[in-house]
Structure 1
C-alpha cells in the first residue's frame, strides 16, 4: 500500500514540477498503464450577502488494461480523492438555510464530511472485432442523457453491458444496458432508482421539497444510439432512445453539417428534435413520492448556425422546451444534450423554456492555447410556477470566459484550464433569497491542472 501511495505521489509531484520522461523508463510489463492526476480549485462569490465558498481538491487514478487476446481484454481503473483546503461546506447559508452546490461537487455530495475516499471506477471484460464489440462490467459512458458531465474531479461511470455494431465506415449502432451508476462527485455505486436525488432534489409540483429520494422504483436503463457519419461531407445524423424503466422514454434526433466555403471556412449548422414522455407510475404509485408524472409530455427543438475556420469557431444556438409538465433527466446522470448548454448550468427540470446562446473559440495551436467564451439568455417560467419550474430558478443571463493551455514543448502530458463565469437574474421584481443562492447573481471561478502519463 505504501508503494502505491508513493507512486501516486510521484505523479502529483510531476504535475507541479514537470513530467516523467517515459523514454528513460524501462517498463517490463505487457500491461497498458495510465496514471493521471487532477488538481481543482473552485470558488463562488455572490453580489448579495450570501455565504461565499471555495474548495481545492485533488484526485489521482491508475488504469490497467491487458493486451487483446483473440479480441478479448480486461481493464480496470481505481481513483482516489482528497480535500486539500476549503471553506466550511457543511455549514448552511445563514439567510436561506441552503447548502453549497458547486464546491461540494469536488468531494462526495452524499457525505460532505468524507474528505478522503477511493472508488473502483472501471472493471470490465471487453471483446472487439472490426464489426462487433462489447463490454461487460463497470465502464465509462457518453450518450445524450447519460454522459461524463462537465468538470469536477472524475466523470460518471456505469455498470452493465455495452454492445457496438459497425457494419461500415458510415454507420455505428450501440446498445447500453445499465443496472447501476456511480455519478461524478460520489464515492459509491447506486441502483437506478437510488441514484435519483443524490444531487439537489428541487421542489414538487406544489412547491414543497421533493420527496422522491429513496422512493423511486426503477431497475435499469436501456440506451440505443445510431450514428451515421459522412466525413467527406462533414455530415452526421444521430438517433438516440433512452428508456428508464418505470420512469420515462426519451427520443432524440440530431442533424449536423458543415458546409464548405471559401478560404478554408465552413458554415456550421445543426438541428435537434427531442420528445419525452412519462411511463408506468413514474417511479412510485404514490404521486407524492414519484420522480416523474407519467402523463408528462415534452418536446424540445434546437437549432445551431455558425462558422469555423482553422483558427476559430463561432455559433449561435436556440432551444425551446415545450409541452405538458416538466422535462426531467436526473442531473446525477449527465449534462443537457442541448445546443444551448453552457458549462455550470442546466435547463433540466423545466418546461416553457426559451434559450439563446452564443459561443466563440480562438485557437493558437503553435502555442498550445485555446480561448473561448459563452454568452446566453435563458427565459424560464416564473420561479414560483412550480409545476414547470422544479428548482424555483429565475430567468437568467450567463457569461463564461475560459482558457486552455497544453504545454507540449516543456510539459508533455500536462494541461491547464481556467474558467470564470457570472450568472445574473433577468427578473425585475424582487427575488426570494432561495431563488438567488446557488443560482444567480454570482461569480464562479475554476482553476484546473491535469497530468496524464501512459506506458504501453
Structure 2
C-alpha cells in the first residue's frame, strides 16, 4: 500500500518536470526526490533502529510582475514501513532518537506527512529583496538542517540587501515548522516538540506547551574590513525568552591559511519563557560560547582544527527544533546545546577524488572530535546527561557526471563514550557507544 501511495505522489511530479519548456514560459518548476535510509546500532542488548523514507519537495516560482515573484513548495515524507518506530526499547522505555526524525515524530502513526512549507511573495528592487510568507532561511541558529526528510521552515517577513562587500538582513518571524514535524507552530509552541532534557533540579523539564513567546527578531551584517579581514554579526531576539548575539571575524593569513574566531553571548529576556520557575525554558541569566578555527587548503584537500569552549556560568541554550548549531565544533548527529563548562576539539579533512575516468567524483569529509562534558549527574551543567565522548564522522558525497541531477550521500558515524560512565543504560542509549549510518539518494530537478 505504501509503495502505491509513493507512486501516486511522485509519478505525476516527474511527468510535470519533463515539460520544462512549457513550464518556464509561466514560471519555474523545480524539486527534489529524496529516498533516505537510516539505521542506529546501540550498545549491547539495547534496541537497534532502522527506517526508510521517500518523498521530497515540489516547488513552483512565478514572476507576476517584473520585480515580483510568488512561490510555493510542498514537502512530503512517506514511511516505507521498514520498522515500527512506535515500539520503544525494552530497557529504557525510549524510542529512537534519529530514525523517528524522518517522519512526524509527534505522530509516528502518520505514514505520509505533507507540509506546505513555502508560500511567499518576494519583491526585488536593485540590491534589495523583501519576502513575506512561509520561507526557508539559513542563519547560525535557525536553519533548514538538511539531515532529515523535511527541513525546518519559518513564517514571517525577511529583508535582504547585498552589495559587493557587504550584506544586511533583517527578519521578523511569527511561526516555525520544526523539521521532523508536520505543521507550523507559534514560536513558544515550537519549543518542546523535541526532547526536553532535565531542569536544574534533575527532573524532567516541563517547558513543552508552557513557553510563551510570540515572535523572533533577526538582524545580520556581514562586511569586509579589508580584502583579507571580514566580520559576520548576527543578533537573535526571541520574545520573552532570550537574546543571542553572535560575532564571527575571519582573517586570511595567506592564500592557503585562514584563521577565524567566534563568540556567542546569550542572556535572558523577559520571563525566560514562563513566570513559573519549573516551567521556564531559559532558566539562567546568561551564557557564553567562545571558538577558534584554523584552516589550511592545499592541492591535497582542506584541513581544519576547531576548538569551542562553553563557559561554566550558563548552559548554551538554543531550541533543537530550529535547526543545527552553526558552531565551529559542530558534528553531524550530535550537539553541544544544553551544556556548560564544555570543551570540544574537532579535526576536519575534506578531499575530492576523481575516479572512473572522471565519470564519478567523490567528496569526502572526515571529522574527528573529542568532547569533554560535565558529569552526567550534574543537571545544572549537563541538561541532556551526555557523557564525555569521541565522535568520528565520514561523510561522502557522490557526483555522477552522466547523471548530473543525482546526488547520493553516505554518512557513517561512530560515537564512543570516554572514561568511567555509570552503568546506567540511559547514559548510553542513543548517545554513545553506538554506530549510525545514513544513505541518502537525492534527485534534483
1:205 paired to 2:200: yes
Matched, 1:282 2:272: yes
Residue 388 of structure 1 and its aligned partner are, at CA, apart by: 1.4
Alpha-carbon distance in 2 for matches of 1:285, 1:123: 35
CA contact (8 A) 1:403 1:417 kept: yes
1:343 matches 2:332: yes
- Alignment correspondent of 1:383: 376
2:389 aligns with 396
Shift of 1:120: 0.3
SS at match of 1:303: strand
Matched, 1:413 2:405: yes
2:93 equivalent to 1:97: yes
The question of whether the paired residues in 2 share the 8 Å contact of 1:405 and 1:416 is answered with yes
Q: Name the counterpart of 1:361.
A: 350
- Asked if residue 292 in structure 1 is aligned to residue 288 in structure 2, the reply is no
Match of 1:9 in 2: 11
Kept in 2, the 8 Å contact 1:11–1:37? The answer is no
Quote the residue 1:255 is aligned against.
Answer: 249
The CA distance in 1 between the partners of 2:56 and 2:233, in whole Å, is: 35
Q: Distance in 2 between matches of 1:170 and 1:400?
A: 35
Paired residue for 2:443? Answer: 451
* SS across alignment from 2:88: coil
How many pairs were matched up?
Answer: 438
CA distance in 1 between counterparts of 2:376 and 2:417 reads 11
Q: Normalization by structure 1: what TM-score?
A: 0.91
3-state SS of the aligned residue for 1:383? coil
Q: Answer with 234-243 or 326-335: which moved more.
A: 234-243
Question: How far is 1:327 from its partner?
Answer: 1.5
Q: Contact between 1:150 and 1:343, CA under 8 Å: does it hold in 2?
A: no
2 CA distance for matches of 1:27 and 1:281?
51
CA contact (8 A) 2:6 2:78 kept: no
Secondary structure of 1:406 counterpart: strand
Counterpart position of 2:130: 134
The question of 1:272 aligning with 2:267 is answered no
**CA–CA distance in structure 2, aligned partners of residues 223 and 173 of structure 1:** 11
Distance 1:91 1:32, change over 3 A: same
Larger RCO: 1 or 2 (CA < 8 Å, sep 6+): 1
Contact 1:12-1:37 at 8 Å conserved across structures: no
| Distance of aligned partners of 1:443 and 1:12 in 2 relative to their CA distance in 1, 3 Å threshold | farther
The alpha-carbon distance between structure 1 residues 27 and 448, as it changes in their structure 2 partners (threshold 3 A), is same
2:364 to 360, 371, 390: 371
- SS of 1:437's equivalent in the other structure is coil
Distance 1:411 1:234 in 2: 38
Structure 1 position 99, deviation (Å): 1.4
Aligned to 2:58: 62
User: What CA distance in whole angstroms lies between the structure 2 residues aligned with 1:43 and 1:364?
Assistant: 27
Distance 1:101 1:12, change over 3 A: farther
- Give the unaligned 5+ runs of structure 1: 15-19
Separation in 1 of the partners of 2:348 and 2:15? 36
Q: Deviations over 1:381-411 (max 9, x none)?
A: 1011001111011111100112110112x21
Q: Helix, strand or coil: the match of 1:388?
A: coil
8 Å Cα contact 2:221/2:234 also seen in 1: yes
**Partner in structure 1 of residue 185 of structure 2:** 190
| Aligned 8 A contact 2:103 2:180 in 1 | yes
Distance 2:72 2:66 in 1: 19
Aligned partners of 1:11 and 1:126: how far apart in 2? Answer: 25
> Contact 2:387/2:421 (CA < 8 Å) preserved in 1?
no
TM-score by length of 2: 0.93
In the alignment, the residues of structure 2 paired with residue 85 and residue 4 of structure 1 have an alpha-carbon distance, to the nearest angstrom, of 12
